Amino acid sequence: MAENDHLVLVLEPDEAVRSALSSLLRHHGWRVTARAEGAALAEVLTATSPLVLICETALPDMTATAVLSLCVAAGVPVVFTSHRNETQKAVDLMRKGALDFLEKPFPQKRLLEVLEELRVRARVKQK
Amino acid sequence: MSHKGRVCIIDDDEAVRESLRLLLFTAGYQTCQYASGDALLAEPDRPDVDVYLLDFRMPGTDGMSLHQQLVAEGCRVPVIFVTGHGDIPLAVSAMQRGAADFLTKPFEESKLLEKIDTAVSHFRALRVELAEQQALRARLEQLTPRERDVLRLVVQGLSNKQAAVELNISPRTVEIHRARVMEKTGADSVATLVRMTSDLDDADPGLT
């Protein structure tokens, strides 16, 4: 388990998924803040400077596009997750600057690889 | 008579190619077509186009591989995928590779035209920028090594006196070189020089 100062922010309304995802990430050495909705996202982004946001597209209180705008403005990469078959939405979000878009049930390996890549990039930038 | 742009249609289904051709023609675009990715790649004299419309599943070189190939060649022409096979991982992958857009069938014709419009206008602006960079590169090649030295120091913000010390020549000589640099590049001020060289630097690091 690599030593890791970075925070992963998770937005996921489904309690079971949120819990499982948080466990998985913590098990791999990541610090995690997990929430069920987008409320106060702008403040959270500023206060915590996460390495990345993992966000379910179907949030109860914010559209995925709104989430993406906030994150792009804050310089935080976003990986979207979705349980719906929404190809055009995925394409749209990618075009607007999302880092990735994973269908649920998503491949854990892929998610961990994406996070690892971000961690390496962040370290290179620090040097 | 000018047209809105040139679209290259690549799809193995002739009916699809024809219906796209008609739609684009009505909307003011010129088109060319290929029945396969292989046919385009085999073309010795590739047509000058503003956007590629690619199907995903084609026999031989499929849409994804064709896109990869174009990117590897350094082709900057935008690629829009138009396909009946809208699976998310492939679409995301295409977008990560730099596709301009991705449409799954059935789609609204107006949506397609909108996306083509956007891609074409971006690409035309890019073309102008690339042409300007090319012209600037050609002008920089006209500089003598000494003039290039002076240019480098001037855009770093050195005064003529400081540049003279750096290069071990007189300030008067620096002035002369500087005047020639301005003349040859067509820049009207140091600020313009800085902008020109930083634009080039972004496109081509290490050039100056």
ipTM, interface predicted TM-score of the complex: 0.88
Mean pLDDT, rounded, for A70-84? 96
Tally of domains in chain A: 1
Q: Tell which of A91, A102, A111, A113 to mutate to test the B interface (max B CBs under 10 Å).
A: A91
In a domain, B136, yes or no: no
- Distance from the Cα of A14 to chain B's closest Cα (Å) equals 21
Is B208 among the domain residues? no
Helix, strand, coil distribution of chain B in percent, nearest 5: 55, 10, 30
Domain residues for the domain of A122 are: 52-83+92-127
- For residues B113 and B101, give the distance between their C-alpha atoms in angstroms, rounded to a whole number: 12
User: What CATH code is carried by the domain that includes residue B168?
Assistant: 1.10.10.10
Q: Do B111 and B49 fall within a single domain?
A: yes
Residue where a domain terminates, one of B99, B129, B159: B129
Report if residue B170 sits inside a domain. yes
Which one of A79, A94, A110 makes the best mutation probe of the B interface by having the most chain B beta carbons within 10 Å? A94
CATH number of the domain within which B96 lies: 3.40.50.2300
Do both B104 and B167 map to the same domain?
no
List Cα–Cα distances, B182 to B150, B175, B206, in angstroms: 11, 11, 21
Which CATH number covers residue A67? 3.40.50.2300
Q: How many domains does chain B have?
A: 2
Residue B36 falls inside a structural domain: yes
Torsion of CA A65, A98, B76, B111, to 10 degrees: -30
B102/A103 touch (CB, cutoff 8 Å), yes or no:
no
Q: Collect all residues of chain A within an 8 Å Cβ-Cβ radius of residue B87.
A: 87
What are A37-68's pLDDT values in tens digits?
A: 999 999 999 999 999 999 999 999 999 999 99
Residue of A nearest to B102 (CA): A91
Residue range(s) defining the domain that contains residue B181: 142-203
Which DSSP category does A75 fall into?
Answer: T
Pair B123, B167 in one domain? no
Q: Is the pTM of this model over 0.90?
A: no
pLDDT digits (tens, 9 = 90+) for A79-127: 999 999 999 999 999 999 999 999 999 889 999 999 999 999 988 877 6
| Interface residue of A88, A96, A99 to substitute, partner B, most B CBs within 10 Å | A88
DSSP 8-state symbol, B54: E
Predicted local confidence at residue B110, as pLDDT: 95
User: B79 vs chain A: nearest CA distance in angstroms?
Assistant: 13
Instruction: Give how far the C-alpha of residue A53 lies from the chain's centroid of Cα atoms, to the nearest Å.
Output: 3
Do the domain assignments include residue B1?
Answer: no
What is the CB neighbour count within 10 angstroms for residue A97? 12
Which chain B residues are closer than 8 Å to A86 by Cβ?
Answer: 88
B196 confidence band (pLDDT: 50, 70, 90): confident
**Which chain A residue has the Cα nearest residue B100?**
A95
- For A107, nearest residue in chain B (alpha carbons): B89
> Which helix or strand (DSSP H or E) is residue B51 part of?
strand B51-54
